[in-house]
Amino acid sequence: DAKTTQPPSMDCAEGRAANLPCNHSTISGNEYVYWYRQIHSQGPQYIIHGLKNNETNEMASLIITEDRKSSTLILPHATLRDTAVYYCIVRFTNAGKSTFGDGTTLTVKP
Amino acid sequence: EAQVTQNPRYLITVTGKKLTVTCSQNMNHEYMSWYRQDPGLGLRQIYYSMNVEVTDKGDVPEGYKVSRKEKRNFPLILESPSPNQTSLYFCASSLKAGGSTDTQYFGPGTRLTVL
């Protein structure tokens, strides 16, 4: 799996959009981008994933650049409950090894 | 309800006393994985299993064993625990490894302290 790079921390005002970037410049053509988040010490929770097209679900939107070397997770209206560590990972089909990295700690402030 | 369960949730033990942390999933997933998480560090993969009877090492396998005799269960075994294995452990499963079917469902975690 390709390596990902994320900023260690970000702040966001409550009610505003939170845009979390992820760099995956060595991504290959059939690697998917996955996002998870971990609140406190709970088990990580899946948010969204995509290959090349932008994706949206009830939790977030995922924007993948045309060259696929980076992506942005967008939480459209951040709430205090969105304060968490967000992990961006890339996953090759049939890849057993899974590397999460250190993620981005997002703090949503009132 | 689709879920991954781990037991025990909390465990305090002593150096050298063999222990097993159980992991079970009810989603008929092929892929299962164990991670450990230490303060200030992300999730590091210990072992994974692509399917029944197929297991392989992750990034930090030393001191751990696993088995996958049934699809739903993936126990983590510490034959001779040491203090450096004090950590928060997570089990995860997904339909298949990687690609579009790799949405990993995580268990609630097991907090292990080895004295």
Q: What is the mean pLDDT of chain A?
A: 93
Mean pLDDT of chain B: 95
Report residue B71 as tokens.
Answer: 């699809």
Measured CA to CA, the distance from residue B22 to residue B72 in angstroms comes to: 11
Instruction: Kindly state the average pLDDT of the residues B91-99.
Output: 91
Contact B42 A103 (CB under 8 A): yes
Size of interface A-B (CB pairs under 8 A): 83
User: With an 8 Å Cβ cutoff, are A92 and B35 in contact?
Assistant: no
- Condensed to tens digits (0 to 9), the pLDDT of residues A26-53 reads 888 889 999 999 999 899 999 999 999 8
Burial A33-65 (b: 16+ CB within 10 A, else e): bbbbbbeeeebbebbbbbeeeebeeeebbbbbe
pLDDT band at B1 (very low <50, low <70, confident <90, very high): confident
Nearest-Cα distance to chain B for A79, in Å, is 23
The DSSP secondary-structure symbol of B15 reads T
Q: Tell me which residue of B60, B51, B62 sits closest to B25, measured CA to CA.
A: B51
CB pair distance less than 8 Å for B100 and A49 = yes
Instruction: Give dist(CA A82, CA A19) in Å, integer.
Output: 12
Q: In angstroms, what separates the C-alpha of B42 from chain A's closest C-alpha?
A: 4
- Structure-token match 């696993």, residue found: B66
Among all chains, which residue has been given the structure tokens 């995922």? A62
- Among chain B residues, CA nearest to A88: B42
pLDDT digits (tens, 9 = 90+) for A58-94: 999 999 999 999 999 999 999 999 999 999 999 888 8
B48 touches A: beta carbon within 8 Å = yes
Q: What whole-number distance in Å separates Cα of residue A67 and Cα of residue A79?
A: 31
pLDDT bucket at A2, cuts 50 / 70 / 90: low
What residues of A are in contact with residue B10 (Cβ under 8 Å)?
Answer: none
Q: How far is CA A87 from the centre of its chain?
A: 5
Spatial strand order of the sheet with A45-50 comes to A9-13, A104-109, A84-92, A31-38, A45-50
Tell me how far apart the alpha carbons of residues A72 and A102 are, in angstroms, rounded to a whole number: 16
pLDDT digits (tens, 9 = 90+) for B8-56: 999 999 999 999 999 999 999 999 999 999 988 889 999 999 999 999 9
Specify the pLDDT at position A1.
64
Average pLDDT over residues A9-25: 96
Token pair of B50 as six digits: 């692509």
Q: Do B98 and A95 touch (CB under 8 A)?
A: yes
Which residues of A fall below an 8 Å CB-CB distance to B? Answer: 1, 30, 32, 34, 36, 41-46, 49, 51, 87, 91-103
| Closest residue of chain B to A1, computed from CA coordinates | B98
Closest approach of A99 to chain B, Cα-based (Å):
7
If you ran DSSP here, which 8-state letter would residue B39 be given?
T
Q: Say whether pLDDT at A95 is over 90.
A: no
